[in-house]
Amino acid sequence: MGDENVQTAASSAEPIGEPTAAGAVNQEGATVTGEAVEAGTADSIAQLAALAAERDQLAAENAEVRDRLLRRQADFENLRKRVEREKAEIREYAGMEVVRALLEILDSFERAVKVECADKEYAKGMELIQQRLLETLGKLGLEPIASEGQKFDPYVHHAVETVETTDADDHTILAELQKGYNFRGRLLRPTMVKVAVAPSSGK
């Protein structure tokens, strides 16, 4: 009986330090779970990186579209201003040509009022018409050029006669032979003038 008890105790004892089958399964399961977590984390990082790259790409495309839009708006604004400027220049040029055609009429009135007339009322009427015409054209932009007594300016004066004299400074305008005009700051017709010049040293 004593031997049976010893044999039973010996058979029921297990070696210490050796893992059981259940322990091995648990360790293998933990390893698989860790690998799955790591794989999931890697996938999440990859997805985040892909989303960040897509976001950056969309931001770049949005900036490019915005830049194109701003350029198109600037081009359109420049085109609009250019068209408006060209239209204004066309209107101004058309007005200038109309006024230029009326200068001959002004010249005729100016010559007429300088002629002595026995009929004072007729002469007064001519002067009134001339004055009204000048005022009307002045509202459109016609500006007479002051000349007599001024220094000769080749940009606005046309010398048709020169007189050697010591009674006036050299290149002083002695007389206005035909009135000149500007139109809205631009030369419409130069003034024809008589100009004083210093006597030559040989005389």
What digits encode the pLDDT tens for the residues 50-95? 888 888 888 888 888 888 888 888 898 898 889 888 887 787 777 8
Instruction: Take residue 104 and report the two structure tokens written for it.
Output: 């001959």
Q: How many CB atoms lie within 10 A of CB 11?
A: 8
Same-domain pairing of 123 and 148: no
| Residue 174 to residue 163: CA distance in whole angstroms | 9
What digits encode the pLDDT tens for the residues 120-148? 888 888 889 989 999 999 998 899 998 88
Q: In angstroms, what is the C-alpha Rg of the chain?
A: 53
Number of domains comprising the chain: 2
Give the pLDDT band of residue 40 (cuts 50, 70, 90): low
CATH number of the domain encompassing residue 201: 2.30.22.10
Same-domain pairing of 134 and 157: no
Same-domain pairing of 86 and 160: no
pLDDT for the residue numbered 35: 66
| Residue 116 to residue 110: CA distance in whole angstroms | 12
Percent of the chain with pLDDT over 70: 79
Q: Provide the residue count of the chain.
A: 203
Instruction: Take residue 189 and report the two structure tokens written for it.
Output: 């017709």
Establish if 8 belongs to a structural domain: no
